[in-house]
Every structure is written in structure tokens, then in C-alpha cells.
Structure 1
Amino acid sequence: MEWLNALLAWLMKRRFSQIERFMDYPHDVQHELFKYLISNAKNTEWGRKYAYKDLQNVTQFKERVPVSSYEQLYPYIERMMKGEQNVLWSSEIKCFSKSSGTTNARSKFIPVSDEALEECHYKGGKDMLCLYVNNYPETKIFQGKMLGIGGSYQQNHLNPNTYYGDVSALIMKNLPIWAEFLRTPSLEIALMSKWEEKIEKIAQTTIKENVTALSGVPTWTIVILQRILQITGKSNICEVWENIEAFFHGAVAFAPYKSLFRSLIPSETMNYMETYNASEGFFGIQDQKNSEELLLMLDYGVYYEFVPMEHFEEENPKTLSLDEVEIGKNYALVISTNSGLWRYKIGDTVRFTSLSPYRIKITGRTKHFINAFGEELVIENADTAIEKACRHTGAMVNDYTAAPIYLEIGNKGGHEWIIEFEKEPDSLEKFVYILDETLRQVNSDYDAKRYMDIALVMPKVHQVPRGTFYEWMRKRGKLGGQNKVPRLSNSRTYVEDILVGI
């Protein structure tokens, strides 16, 4: 299989010159994309409503078309799910990505056009491999198979000619033959809807495969790897798959899980690569070996706008184009896509770490933060603090969530954390101290509120048994790769629900 590995590696690297083009000419590429989107949608119902035919530039587009939430676009999406076409996008929409989300209990159904599958999601997968091969030219990754952990896929009850499922399932269902040949397990198993049964099937059927790479959400990948070790009786994954060399991960920050993965896969040649792939599109890929920054992918059929967080709550907030953003500021992401999402608030927040080329870090969710006392704690802060506390206490974390303790008469406010450890810290007291100190270092607002315990006291941390979060997600019907434990919340709903069940 060496010849196949060499051939596929060569084919993947051919795309690199195109990646370099949007790195060198980002504004030209985005402007061309904007014109393409407007031109293709001008005769849709949405395009006629906002007179896309005579739109001359981005300024007019921003003045004419409102920034939209899912709830505002849903009436159009519902009609598309019932079979209407040419509503938001010109080509036929047959697939919808189902996202339970982390900000709303109701499922979201995101239209996915053939163009989005080809020019965004599949292109993102190929570029991920292109950048990996570019960084690791001696790779043998194509001599084995990639274990992909997908979601479920089913016929739409509103219209039997359309389908919906997790975005990973839609991608797997429509993969080209060559890509299907390189992945495991079989589609029959990968697309099973019963998650617990699927975990068992994946574990049982992939043990004897030559798995060279993993792809998925860290939390659910850990569950499968641990089950594989239980079945085989091996001490680590390298004893099961001796040629494993890469994990392509996304959806949640990797830092809190880094030490646990290194324990499960104790290999000096194991590589980790982050992607930013959501139901709405494929947005970023880690392009440098020793950096956690993500290259913003600019030629995937997605036109980007950015809302400074101080304006996010406004009814129709002012957005910035790519050439107006600044390094270090927190922005809410707004996208227009080749599936008909127009000026859509995706719900994620990012900050730029580089403007040439444009690289970002995901900082959290627009509705997932704690700001009960003006501390403006975001997920990036929490992940950084958890990672440092683990590093200094020998701990490994499976999952966590946090919420405010609100002020009461005679009691000061604070933050309450629920943490599930895979490996307990050598001192929980030391862990909490480092957690708090790191939050003070990375967030000046939190530090100000913690000063002399004036507004916030030391965090309260509950250490819960292994499996607590898995069981909580199962009871809520939230098992699966698209579902994530909510990290931070301004409400105490999640924390209290978990504590009641312990």
C-alpha cells in the first residue's frame, strides 16, 4: 500500500497552491465569493425580497439585509424542508444538517446544498489532509484507515425526498468511493442512531483494522478508545493500532483533554490537528505544527462578517468585514453561505491572532459565558485555566461545566464548577487555587471582581464520579458526536440538574 500512500499524499498536496492564494489575497477572494453568492441568489425569493439584482457592493448588502438568527430564518427553512425550492438558495436543497446545539434545547435544521457539500465540507476535509501532508511529508496515514465517528441520518418526515442528520452523517453518506475506502467503520455502523449500541459496534469492529488516524469530537472519541481498551485488555491504544499517527479533532477545545489523550496514546509520533467544522460550514484548520491557531478558510462558499461583542445584543448590529478586524478582540461570527444562510449569527465567538494570513482562535459561544457580576468569563478562559490546573496537579479531566452562585443576603457571589476527572488531582485544593489564579491572569474583569473577595469568592468545585456527564447527556437524549456538554452558563439550570442526579 506504499504506492497508494505516496499517490494520495501527492494528490492532496496539489491543493496547497490554492490555499496560498487566499492566504496572499484574502480580500480579493472574499470579494469574488461575495459576488458569486449574490449572483446565484438574485432570483430566489430571498434575493427578490432584498433586491439582490441591483446590489452593487458589500456596503449596500449590509444596509439592506438584516443580521438574522436561526429563529428569524426558520420560516424559510421550514418551507424548504417541506419541499419548496428557490427560497434561500438557487439550487435544489435535499439535505439538512440537524444540530441540537448547545444554546437551545430545540433542534436546528441547517440547509446543505450540493455546492456546500462539495465546495465547503468535502473541500475542508481534503484541505485538512493537504495541510497535514504538507506538515508531515513522511506520513504513512494513507496506508491504513481513518476511524470516523459519525452521527445519524434519516428521511425527512415533512418531505420523503429530503433527508436530515448530523453534518458528519451527511458527509459520510455522500462520500466519494476513494474516501469511503480509506475510512472505518462501515456506513451501516457509522450511521446507527442508537449511540450506545454504535459505540460498542465501532469498538468491536475496528480493533483488527489498521487504524492510522482518528477523526471526531474529543469527548466521544475518549469513550470509544476507553471501550476498546476494556475489550482488548491492552494498556494503551498503541498496542491496538501500532501505526496510529493522527487525531483530527474539533467541536470542543482540545486543551483540557490533551493529557488524557497522551495517556491513552503514549506515542511521540502522534500528531493532533484541530478543525473548525460546524453544521453551517467548514471554517478553519490548524495549519501550523506548533500552533493552536486556525487558518480561516476563505474560499469555501462562506462570506464572513464579524460583530464586536459590545454590539452583539443590538437588534441589527454593525458588522465588520475581514479587512476591518483587529488582533485580540472578541467577535461574534456572522456568515452568508452557498446554502442560503444570509447574514446568519452562527453563535460562535472568535478572536484573530494573525491578520496575514488570517488566523483565529475559537473563544466560545455567544450564549455560553458567565457574566453575572461583570466578569465576562468565556470558554477560552475556562479551558486555559482547566488545562493549567491539570498540568500542575497531574489531573486529567473528562468533562466540566460551571455557573454563577448568585448574591444573596449575607452571602457573596461566586462560580460553581462540576468537574469529572479521569485522573484525580494530587490535591483538589491546589487544583482549585490554580484554576482561580489562572482565571485572574487571563481575564482582568474576573480578577477585578475577585480582588479582596469583594464581589466574587474562591470557586466552589464539585468532583463527580466518572460517567456522570455521560449519564446526564443520556437522560437528556443528547448522546452523539454533535452534542456537547455546555461549558459555561449564566443560568444555574445545568449545574442544579446534574447535582440533583448525583
Structure 2
Amino acid sequence: MTLLNTTLKWLLKRRLPRLEYMMKHPEEIQQGVFRQLIEKGKRTEFGRQHQFSDIRTIRGFQERVPVSAYEDLFPYIERVMKGERNVLWPTPIHWFSKSSGTTNARSKFIPVSQESLDECHFRGGKDLMAFYIANRPESKVFEGKGVSIGGSLHDNPYSSHGFAGDVSAVIMKNLPTWGQYIRTPPLEVALMGEWEAKIERMAEITSKENVTSILGVPTWTLVLLERILQLTGKRNILEVWPNFEVFIHGAVAFQPYRDLFSHDVFPSKDITYLETYNASEGFFAVQDDLSRIGEMMLMLDYGIFYEFVPVEQAEDPYPRALTIDEVEIDKNYALVISTNGGLWRYRVGDTVRFTSLYPHRLKVSGRTKHFINAFGEEVIVENAETAITRACEATGAAVSDYTAGPVYMGSGTHGRHEWVIEFSHDPDDQERFNQILDETLRQVNSDYDAKRYNDMVLKEPIVHVVPRGTFYAWMGNRGKLGGQHKVPRLSNSREYLDDILNRAADRLDYAD
């Protein structure tokens, strides 16, 4: 593998001049992407409806095309999934990446064109390794295998046309031969749909390989690594994989897991942690400087045209959207994208904050709505409201206020959600209420259901019942009384949760 390591490192270094040009000329790069997208989009039904042939400027594009949520584009996407062509994008679409977070269905499906595979996802994978090699020129990462922890694929639910699955599974299935050669486990194992059996087979196979890198979400990675330690009887993963170099992570915030990985899993200062911002809709950013933890460089030549909407206008159909040359440091923007997969002025749902310009580095600062995504479950307020409503209906309860947040994984412990609920009318069976709350979340959110499967990542939620008046007193202590102030329903941190629990500890009635 030494020759392969040398060859691949040489090839990756050749990408650096292009990346350096992109850092210095972001407006020029984005203007080029915009023109290419409009030219392609002219040949689609969406483009004809919005008169792409008459569009000459970005401002003209923004005036003709409203910012869209998934629900707005879904009628077009459904037609694409049923086999229609030239609806959103002129080339055939055979793949659809699946995720949750939509309010009108259990899952949402994002078209993945061949262009978005080649020019976005695959290019992103090569560029992130180019940055890694630039930061670690002595690396021997390609002398071993890379573990890919992905999802699964299934048939298109709308027709026999194409396949759907997690974006990681779509990417793995379409990797070129050389990409398959340097990864593990075999594709038939990596794409297994039954998670418990999949983790078992992955642990058996990868524990016997010379693994030098992992690409995955921290939560699922921990599940795999814990199983490997159980099988091997080793104390940490470096005893299993002594040549391990880099963990490439994304999808959820890594900071709550950093100490666990660096102290327990990979107890060495030589291990690199490289962050990416990759979603079902596209590959957006990658950490280019290892000293800048949590900061990633926006990749501007991946067939994605970016717009940045001030958060106070995030829900407007025609907001004052900024382009890459107009953004400012330390301001929060809602991310809007147009892509070479046929998404047009699509509201991703994330908010970002730029930490530097030239190059344009950013941090993912949150979501445009309250949510919990500590483990990749993407539970949104609509999911929570549905679950609360059904649990109340089944148990005769009425809820006056609630909030929820994550309990992060620790060494040997699972993650879970923790709820603080104030009832105006108590349930006739608290245990049944908790059960229905959990079951409903699993029914309405496929990602939460996957994490709850056999308690592999998430255990059942903890529910704390607090005395009446608790939330009112808490809001008063924060100076937030009044109609314009609302209790934050969901949070991806424990800030609100711990504050309420600490202030109400002497009055709490636990119902775990």
C-alpha cells in the first residue's frame, strides 16, 4: 500500500492550486456556478415556469424565483420520483437522498443527479483529503483502510424508477473502483438495512483490518467502536488499530463528544479530527485548517449557488438575500441554495456564521427553527407537538408547557432525550404517556426511529414532571414574561433544560 499512499497523496496535492484560487476569487467562482445552473435550468419545466431564459443577473433570479421550503418543491420532486424528466433538472435522476425534518411526511427525498455526485459529493471527498494531506504531509493514511459508516438503500417508494436512501449510502454505492478499494467493510455489509446485524458484521470485519481513518457521524461511530472493544477485549481503539490517523465527522455537533473520543476512544494527541458540513442537499464545507476547531471553509465550485438570508427574514419568500461577496463576519444567516440536482432557492434550514473572509470560513450556528439533532435524529417542533398531542389524548392529560434537550453519550452510556413537562391536567398513567410520546416520535420521524432501534444510540426518553407554575417562574427569572416571549420547546444543547431543572429541583417529581 506504500506506493498507493504516495500516488494518492501526489494526486491530491495537485488539487491545492484550484482550492487556493477559490479562496481568493469567491465572487468570480460563484458567478460562474450561477450562470451554469441557469443555463441548465432553462431546459426544465421549473425553468420555463420561472422564465429562466430571461434571467441575466442574480438579482433578476431572486426577483423571479421565491425561496422555497421542501414542501414547496415536493410536488416537483414527487413527479421526478415517478420517472418524469426535465422537471427540475435536465439530466436523468436515478438516486434520491432521504432524510427527516419535513412537516408533511415522515421523510423527505432530495434528487441526486450524476452532476451532484461527481461535481459535489465526490469532489468534496477528494478535497477534504487534500486539505488533510496539506496539514499532515507525513500521513500514511492510504496505507490502510477507511471505515465508512453509512445508511442503507431501498427502492424508490413512488415507482420502480431509481433508489432512495441516506446520502452516505447513495455516495458509497456510486463510488468509483479506486474509492471502493480503499474503504471497508464490503459494500454489501456497509449498506445492510438491519442496523444491529450491520454493526455486528462491521465490527467483526473492521476489527481485523488495518484501519487508518473513519468517516461517520459521532453517534453511530461510538456504537461501532464500543462493539469492537467488546469483541476484542481491548481497552481503546488504538490497541485495535495502532496506525489510525484521522476521524472525519459531521452531521451533528462534535464538541460534546470531543473529550470522549480524545480521552477514551483514541487516547493520543496524534489523532486528527476533521469536520465536514455535508448534507442530503449537498457537500457544503470542510475544515481546511486543523487549528480552527469548528470552522469550515465554504466550497464554492461544487455546482451550488449560495445565498445568505438574515435570520430575521428566514421565513420570507422574497427576502433580501446576500451573495458571497456581501456577507459579513459574525452575523447569522439562513442558508439558501440552488444546486446541480435541481433544488432552486431551497431553504436548507441551517443558520451559519462566517468567521473569516478570503477564505470564507463558517460555523453552523443552528437551525431556523427549534430542533434536537444531537445524534442525527433531527427532531423538529412539529414532531414534538404531534407526540405531545397523541400522548395527551391517550391519557387524558393536558400540557401547559414543556421543553426538551439531549443527554449526551458518555463512556459506556447511551444518549437519550430528556423532557421537562408541566401539566395543567395530569395523565391518568404517566408511564403510558411517556411510552406514547416515544412511540409517536418514532412513527413521525424516521431518523429518530433509527437511533432508537434496539436502544443502539438513543434509549427511551427521561420525562420530568414539574409542579404547576414552574415555567412561569423560570421565565420570570429570565426577564422573559410577556406575550412576545415563548418557552423554547426544543434545544440542541442543555442550556435551558439544566437551568429549569436546577431552579425547580426542590419541586420536581421524577417520572423516568
Same fold (TM > 0.5): yes
Of 360, 363, 367, the match for 1:361:
363
Judged with a 3 Å threshold, the aligned counterparts in structure 2 of structure 1 residues 176 and 421 are, in CA distance, closer, same or farther, namely closer
Question: What pairs up with 1:261-272 in 2 under 5 angstroms?
Answer: 261-262=261-262, 263-272=264-273
Match of 2:388 in 1: none
Judged with a 3 Å threshold, the aligned counterparts in structure 2 of structure 1 residues 367 and 104 are, in CA distance, closer, same or farther, namely farther
Q: Deviations over 1:295-354 (max 9, x none)?
A: 000000000001101111334322111111111011110000001100000111100001
Query: In structure 1, what is the Cα distance between the partners aligned to 2:380 and 2:157?
Result: 37
SS in structure 2 opposite 1:201?
Answer: helix
Query: In structure 2, what is the Cα distance between the partners aligned to 1:493 and 1:167?
Result: 25
Residue pair 1:65, 1:343 contacting (<8 A) in 2 also: yes
SS in structure 1 opposite 2:203?
Answer: helix
> Is 1:123 the equivalent of 2:145?
no
Q: Deviations over 1:359-407 (max 9, x none)?
A: 100011112269xxxxxxxx9xxx9xxxxxxxxxxxxx99999999xxx
Query: In structure 2, what is the Cα distance between the partners aligned to 1:341 and 1:402?
Result: 22
Letter matched to residue 364 of structure 1: G
Match of 1:22 in 2: 22
Residue pair 2:309, 2:334 contacting (<8 A) in 1 also: yes
Judged with a 3 Å threshold, the aligned counterparts in structure 2 of structure 1 residues 501 and 73 are, in CA distance, closer, same or farther, namely farther
Judged with a 3 Å threshold, the aligned counterparts in structure 2 of structure 1 residues 36 and 60 are, in CA distance, closer, same or farther, namely same
SS in structure 2 opposite 1:252?
Answer: coil
Q: CA deviation at 1:132?
A: 0.5
Query: In structure 2, what is the Cα distance between the partners aligned to 1:269 and 1:472?
Result: 44
Query: In structure 2, what is the Cα distance between the partners aligned to 1:39 and 1:248?
Result: 35
Query: In structure 2, what is the Cα distance between the partners aligned to 1:251 and 1:325?
Result: 24
Query: In structure 1, what is the Cα distance between the partners aligned to 2:74 and 2:178?
Result: 36
> Is 1:419 the equivalent of 2:407?
yes
Which 5+ residue runs of structure 2 have no aligned equivalent? Answer: 385-399, 414-437, 462-486, 498-508
Relative to structure 2, which stretch is displaced further, 153-162 or 292-301?
A: 153-162
Identity %: 53
SS in structure 1 opposite 2:205?
Answer: helix
SS in structure 2 opposite 1:161?
Answer: coil
Q: CA deviation at 1:54?
A: 1.5
Query: In structure 2, what is the Cα distance between the partners aligned to 1:400 and 1:45?
Result: 32
Judged with a 3 Å threshold, the aligned counterparts in structure 2 of structure 1 residues 101 and 492 are, in CA distance, closer, same or farther, namely closer
Query: In structure 2, what is the Cα distance between the partners aligned to 1:77 and 1:57?
Result: 26
Query: In structure 2, what is the Cα distance between the partners aligned to 1:362 and 1:493?
Result: 15
Letter matched to residue 285 of structure 2: G
Q: CA deviation at 1:69?
A: 0.5
Query: In structure 1, what is the Cα distance between the partners aligned to 2:260 and 2:197?
Result: 24
Judged with a 3 Å threshold, the aligned counterparts in structure 2 of structure 1 residues 99 and 295 are, in CA distance, closer, same or farther, namely same
SS in structure 2 opposite 1:63?
Answer: helix
Q: CA deviation at 1:159?
A: 2.5
Match of 2:345 in 1: 343
Query: In structure 2, what is the Cα distance between the partners aligned to 1:400 and 1:311?
Result: 22
Of 488, 491, 496, the match for 2:489:
491
Q: Deviations over 1:140-176 (max 9, x none)?
A: 0000000000111122142323111110001000100
Query: In structure 2, what is the Cα distance between the partners aligned to 1:63 and 1:13?
Result: 41
Q: Deviations over 1:455-478 (max 9, x none)?
A: xxxxxxxxxxxxxxx999878653
Match of 1:394 in 2: none
> Is 1:276 the equivalent of 2:277?
yes
Match of 1:291 in 2: 292
Q: CA deviation at 1:43?
A: 1.7
Judged with a 3 Å threshold, the aligned counterparts in structure 2 of structure 1 residues 400 and 71 are, in CA distance, closer, same or farther, namely closer
Match of 2:74 in 1: 74
Q: Deviations over 1:52-107 (max 9, x none)?
A: 11211001000111100100000000000000000011111111111123877620
Letter matched to residue 491 of structure 1: R
Query: In structure 2, what is the Cα distance between the partners aligned to 1:236 and 1:398?
Result: 24
SS in structure 2 opposite 1:75?
Answer: helix
TM-score (structure 1 length as normaliser) = 0.78
Match of 2:309 in 1: 307
Match of 2:478 in 1: none
Judged with a 3 Å threshold, the aligned counterparts in structure 2 of structure 1 residues 500 and 124 are, in CA distance, closer, same or farther, namely farther
Query: In structure 2, what is the Cα distance between the partners aligned to 1:54 and 1:137?
Result: 49
Letter matched to residue 18 of structure 1: R
Runs of 4+ off more than 4 Å: 102-105, 397-404, 412-418, 470-477, 479-486, 492-495
Letter matched to residue 273 of structure 2: Y
Question: What pairs up with 1:15-414 in 2 under 5 angstroms?
Answer: 15-101=15-101, 106-262=106-262, 263-292=264-293, 293-368=295-370
Query: In structure 2, what is the Cα distance between the partners aligned to 1:154 and 1:304?
Result: 31
Letter matched to residue 294 of structure 1: M
Letter matched to residue 54 of structure 1: D
SS in structure 1 opposite 2:56?
Answer: coil
Match of 1:433 in 2: none
Residue pair 1:152, 1:191 contacting (<8 A) in 2 also: yes
Query: In structure 2, what is the Cα distance between the partners aligned to 1:93 and 1:401?
Result: 28
Query: In structure 1, what is the Cα distance between the partners aligned to 2:173 and 2:380?
Result: 36
Judged with a 3 Å threshold, the aligned counterparts in structure 2 of structure 1 residues 368 and 415 are, in CA distance, closer, same or farther, namely closer
Match of 2:479 in 1: none
SS in structure 2 opposite 1:62?
Answer: helix
Question: What pairs up with 1:427-438 in 2 under 5 angstroms?
Answer: none
Judged with a 3 Å threshold, the aligned counterparts in structure 2 of structure 1 residues 143 and 418 are, in CA distance, closer, same or farther, namely closer
Query: In structure 1, what is the Cα distance between the partners aligned to 2:511 and 2:440?
Result: 8
Judged with a 3 Å threshold, the aligned counterparts in structure 2 of structure 1 residues 416 and 276 are, in CA distance, closer, same or farther, namely closer
Residue pair 1:401, 1:419 contacting (<8 A) in 2 also: no
Letter matched to residue 123 of structure 1: R
Query: In structure 2, what is the Cα distance between the partners aligned to 1:420 and 1:93?
Result: 38
Which 5+ residue runs of structure 1 have no aligned equivalent? Answer: 371-378, 384-396, 405-411, 426-469
SS in structure 1 opposite 2:53?
Answer: helix
Judged with a 3 Å threshold, the aligned counterparts in structure 2 of structure 1 residues 256 and 104 are, in CA distance, closer, same or farther, namely farther
Q: CA deviation at 1:423?
A: 5.0
Q: CA deviation at 1:3?
A: 1.4
TM-score (structure 2 length as normaliser) = 0.76
Q: CA deviation at 1:424?
A: 10
Q: CA deviation at 1:123?
A: 0.3
Q: Deviations over 1:409-461 (max 9, x none)?
A: xxx99966552452599xxxxxxxxxxxxxxxxxxxxxxxxxxxxxxxxxxxx
Query: In structure 2, what is the Cα distance between the partners aligned to 1:399 and 1:55?
Result: 39
